[in-house]
Structure 1
């Protein structure tokens, strides 16, 4: 039986296309060295995969980190000065030699077998995307009030311990996902996501979820593979209330972006956006009122107020600003 399993795994590996691991980074070198060391210790031969670091705010520091890891294996450095996570992801895809593009954040750590499990499903040509479990590596214990929040707000993901094919609207997170390169370019790439410069925040979109929706509609399979798990490091600063307010604010913009795209073909679209913005502002006020004179769930209530305020603002801006509306409704961001 063991011999059959080894033979099956060997056959599976031989049919998996070459792989490019892409790490976008923006002014956050603290964890990057550990992430790269972890990636370079995979149980696949280094001839089977390449590593590309896309520096979205080049200062020279990331280059020095890569140079210091030269003995671990070849790491390609790519500066990308156009800010935005989707720009960095696409820059990596354009220069990648592999047919399978594996995206991770710069603050992750993975076991040695992670890359094997992340790529094995691509032997099926209908598989367009695979995502793995994301486990929190907590640097401090979360505060008591954090149980009011979904761990997805920290990009953690646990859909169980069995591989499964997903369907709309379920998505895997971009900090631990792989996509077939031909499929990525076929459907128009990632939607906008995080921007390092907060002045560009209203240009944000729904990132990897928008990509997966288009993959679903194009007929590709999206797979959850829990054995392709990794640790996502959660610092104390990310558990501060202000950081969660910002995360919910950003999510409000992302959800507004998705709604604008969803209703674009309906009549009186701009009027619908204006009416929904008023609903969002009213809801934000109601949540903020919950924070007055209450000690229990005030962090959650204030975070919800940030979410609805941001959604209302984005809906209003999309209704009134033609250039923002055109940005949201682009067919491709490649």
Structure 2
């Protein structure tokens, strides 16, 4: 992927943003995946957004920036995924901006498939996503129900290209926008998104809701796939419940931002928390059923606390 000097001034078609925080070991694998892209290197740039890392991320970023002229290392001192994503948006030179998680590895035709979709599909989508296959460090446990795999950022809509159904969108580990459309919204809301140990989310979902209300559409291309690392420290019920709790907090913040009436939020927070069937299900003999319903209880609890005590 080494570029000659006269390629340095070529305007890239697409900017790839990797927002990273203390994951230098996984970051290298993501970057190596980008070195193997079938798309010619002069057609894309790689933005390494170091979000206040305390490991050797800077060393890696500097190394790749020095060796590959389409790589740029950028330090963002304010902790927060949305802040880092907005920094990438402000720095990107491409017509499109692709967000790749720092623990995800793209397939070789990832960028080529994305650009092909933007240039051939009619009407032109505002956003493109593809499969996100789980790279499980340990075997996926039997107690994990498929309906809650979303918490591990796994997505698979099959082997055929298609429009995403209404109210369904790509996930942030593998998502590409028209840069202008994202800029017009002001980027991602920085109240949402990961902030250190706070597992907040919904930042890209909020963007997608607004874009869909504007009449925009989202496209799924199975050729634009990535593999997403799922470490064993997450593959346990305690992490899953914590993740569910923060999902509820995120839901409440997103509802507030979108202008849902506070009286409606109060009502929903109580009715969801007092869902009798979920409580009764805790007596069910199958662990999978108990855990699945418990994640919904914890999500409701997070929503309740955010609505009632964080105004």
Among candidates 39, 62, 66, match of residue 61 of structure 2? 66
In the alignment, which residue of structure 2 is the partner of 1:158?
156
Task: Please give the alpha-carbon distance, in whole angstroms, between the structure 2 residues aligned to 1:30 and 1:17.
Answer: 27
Q: Is the 8 A contact 1:129 1:223 kept in 2?
A: yes
Secondary structure of the structure 2 residue equivalent to 1:231: strand
Give 1:89 shift.
0.6
Structure 1 residues 60, 187: CA separation in 2 closer, same or farther (over 3 Å shift)? same
TM-score when scaled to structure 1? 0.80
| Alpha-carbon RMSD | 2.5
Instruction: Give per-residue Cα distances to partners, 1:197-228, cap 9 Å, x unaligned.
Output: 34x66xx4521111112222223331111110
Secondary structure of the structure 2 residue equivalent to 1:42: coil
Give 1:55 shift.
1.1
In the alignment, which residue of structure 1 is the partner of 2:241?
245
Q: Is the 8 A contact 1:166 1:223 kept in 2?
A: yes
The count of corresponding residues between Structure 1 and Structure 2 is 296
Q: Is the 8 A contact 2:51 2:80 kept in 1?
A: yes
Task: Please give the alpha-carbon distance, in whole angstroms, between the structure 2 residues aligned to 1:244 and 1:54.
Answer: 27
Give runs of aligned pairs for residues 2-151 of structure 1, distance below 5 A.
Answer: 18-59=13-54, 61-69=56-64, 70-71=66-67, 74-123=70-119, 126-147=124-145, 149-151=147-149
Secondary structure of the structure 1 residue equivalent to 2:224: strand
Secondary structure of the structure 2 residue equivalent to 1:177: strand
Secondary structure of the structure 2 residue equivalent to 1:188: coil
Structure 1 residues 299, 189: CA separation in 2 closer, same or farther (over 3 Å shift)? same
Secondary structure of the structure 2 residue equivalent to 1:227: coil
Among candidates 204, 213, 229, match of residue 217 of structure 1? 213
Task: Please give the alpha-carbon distance, in whole angstroms, between the structure 1 residues aligned to 2:268 and 2:186.
Answer: 28
Task: Please give the alpha-carbon distance, in whole angstroms, between the structure 1 residues aligned to 2:284 and 2:13.
Answer: 58
Instruction: Give per-residue Cα distances to partners, 1:282-323, cap 9 Å, x unaligned.
Output: 23x8745644695633332332221110011122135xx2xx
Q: Gapped runs of 5+ residues in structure 1? A: 1-15, 322-334
Give 1:255 shift.
2.3
In the alignment, which residue of structure 2 is the partner of 1:304?
296
In the alignment, which residue of structure 1 is the partner of 2:306?
314
Q: Is the 8 A contact 2:12 2:93 kept in 1?
A: no
Q: Is the 8 A contact 2:125 2:217 kept in 1?
A: yes
Task: Please give the alpha-carbon distance, in whole angstroms, between the structure 1 residues aligned to 2:85 and 2:241.
Answer: 26
Q: Is the 8 A contact 1:131 1:228 kept in 2?
A: yes
Secondary structure of the structure 1 residue equivalent to 2:189: coil
Secondary structure of the structure 2 residue equivalent to 1:23: strand
Secondary structure of the structure 2 residue equivalent to 1:159: coil
Q: Is the 8 A contact 1:168 1:213 kept in 2?
A: no
Task: Please give the alpha-carbon distance, in whole angstroms, between the structure 2 residues aligned to 1:61 and 1:274.
Answer: 45
Q: Is the 8 A contact 1:17 1:123 kept in 2?
A: no
Give 1:274 shift.
2.6
Q: Is the 8 A contact 1:148 1:300 kept in 2?
A: no
Give 1:39 shift.
0.9
Among candidates 205, 225, 230, match of residue 226 of structure 2? 230
